[in-house]
Amino acid sequence: MNKTMKRNPSTFAVVTFGCQMNARDSEKLVGILETMGLTETEEEQADIVIYNTCTIRENANQKLYGHLGTLKKRKEKNPDMIIGLCGCMMQKEDTVAYVQKKFPFVDLIFGTFNFHRAPEFIQRLLAGERQVTEIWDEPKEHVEHLPEHRKYPFKGGVNIMYGCNNFCTYCVVPYVRGRERSRIPEDILADVKALAADGVREIMLLGQNVNSYGVNFMEKETSEVLKDDPDYAFPNLLRDVCRVDGILRVRFMTSHPKDLSDELIRVIAEEEKACKHIHLPVQSGSTDVLRRMNRHYTREDYLKLVDKIRKAIPDVSLTTDIMVGFPGETDQDFADTVSLVEEVGYDQAFTFIYSVRSGTPAAEMEQLPQDLVSRRFQQLLEVVRRRGAEVTARFTGKTLPVLCEEVNPHTPGYLTGKTEHNITVHFPGDSTMVGKIISVRLEECKGFYYFGTMV
């Protein structure tokens, strides 16, 4: 070790912003830092603080800047602490330039493609480099078998693919996560089996668009499964994962409506362990807006798909993402979105105000006035809440298996868990039941969640 080194970090914290992809990357980053002999601790006490950032909307960027303002004061008191930034936001050159100028106390910047190199970056800082910035603009190395530290003992995410090829005109993801590439089935199934052996009961298969799993495989030539079945695709994978012993539930995220196949619907219907829940982002109910978003489906295509799913999987729960205020959205376009929400009857819908992302095609289009968009957003929120509560109430009085996830932090003596439909249920119970699947009668529907009792 370098004798002149002042810094001698022993603890770290990884703070995650954004989606499940980032959450999953953070689990790996934590595992990697632990193999360096560092111990995870609270952010306030950590010698090394790394923010895994999101840039899907501008408010994600603003949130990070707010946190950096606070960190600056800590760093003034403790100049030896290491502050690192990684993740999606760091894949944008203009953002990195801004961060370096405004927050010069940040020691380390890396991106989405090279977080497995974190130990090397930290060693360079410890050896005396004042600032390390290393961003790759593509995945130059594919690394399997990274260590990881899972957040929950009984459920785990597994990446089945990385990146995105869809180029929706509003979205920054293809630019910060690169082209779509799928892992071979052997690697995924090995992960799932290892998780099962480690006590995991629920698997979440992760990809930006799981329905195009298998279009572009990495290391295809090494796969025996693909030699036997060159058409191996997501329905095959879902079936294989469901059949791993020890696993009780399988979820996946996210599905693009343009290529959700009949075969996939059949597998979800047939495989008992496949959760009867599909997150199917619609974005807008207007065919014209969908076309300008480059979504490759019409309002009618989407409604037909919903119909088909409902016929094949009774009681299925559907959730979605909807955006308001896309450039050029007319009153009629917005009315089409509202009527689609009424018609489909989502269990839950995540609503967003369109946010300009530099470098995307929609950023060049004429933007709508903010006050109009805010009014539309409020209106949509009300419809989504009312319809969601009506639809979710269909389970009142039913007894369903619930995976107990945690002791309820607010109500002593209560547990919180999820049905396979991803509906939250609070019910009396004790900590020994966490991680188990319990039969619960759903008694009182409170909109998006239930109170129930064990039976």
| Site for ligand 5AD contains 281 (CB under 6 A) | yes
CA distance 112 to 25: 8
Q: Looking only at Cα atoms, what is the longest distance across the chain?
A: 70
Element (H, E) at 378: helix 370-392
| 279: β partners | 319
Judged by CB under 6 A, the stretch of 75-83, 111-119, 348-356, 447-455 that binds ligand 5AD is 348-356
Between 25 and 202, CB nearer to ligand SF4:
25
Partner from ligand SF4, ligand 5AD, none contacting 440, C-beta within 5 to 8 A by type: none
Q: Which of 271, 288, 301, 321 binds ligand 5AD (CB under 6 A)?
A: 321
Token pair, residue 71, equals 């960190």
Least distance CB 27 / ligand 5AD (angstroms): 20
Partner from ligand SF4, ligand 5AD, none contacting 88, C-beta within 5 to 8 A by type: ligand SF4
Least distance CB 77 / ligand 5AD (angstroms): 37
| Site for ligand 5AD contains 175 (CB under 6 A) | no
Between 18 and 185, CB nearer to ligand 5AD:
18
For tokens 């770290």, name the residue. 12
Between 88 and 265, CB nearer to ligand SF4:
88
CA distance 149 to 438: 26
Token pair, residue 110, equals 């890396």
Residue type at position 340: L
Between 21 and 362, CB nearer to ligand SF4:
21
> By the 8 A CB rule, do 206 and 159 touch?
yes
Sign of CA dihedral 148, 151, 157, 159: negative
Between 159 and 348, CB nearer to ligand SF4:
159
Between 134 and 321, CB nearer to ligand 5AD:
321
| Site for ligand 5AD contains 377 (CB under 6 A) | no
* Footprint on this chain of ligand SF4 (rule: CB under 6 A): 18-19, 21-22, 54-56, 88, 173, 176-177
CA 255 to chain centre: 12
Q: Classify 403 as helix, strand or coil.
A: strand
CA distance 227 to 141: 24
Classify residue 325 as left (phi > 0), alpha (psi -120 to 50) or beta: left
Partner from ligand SF4, ligand 5AD, none contacting 352, C-beta within 5 to 8 A by type: ligand 5AD
Q: Which of 55, 348, 355, 416 binds ligand 5AD (CB under 6 A)?
A: 355
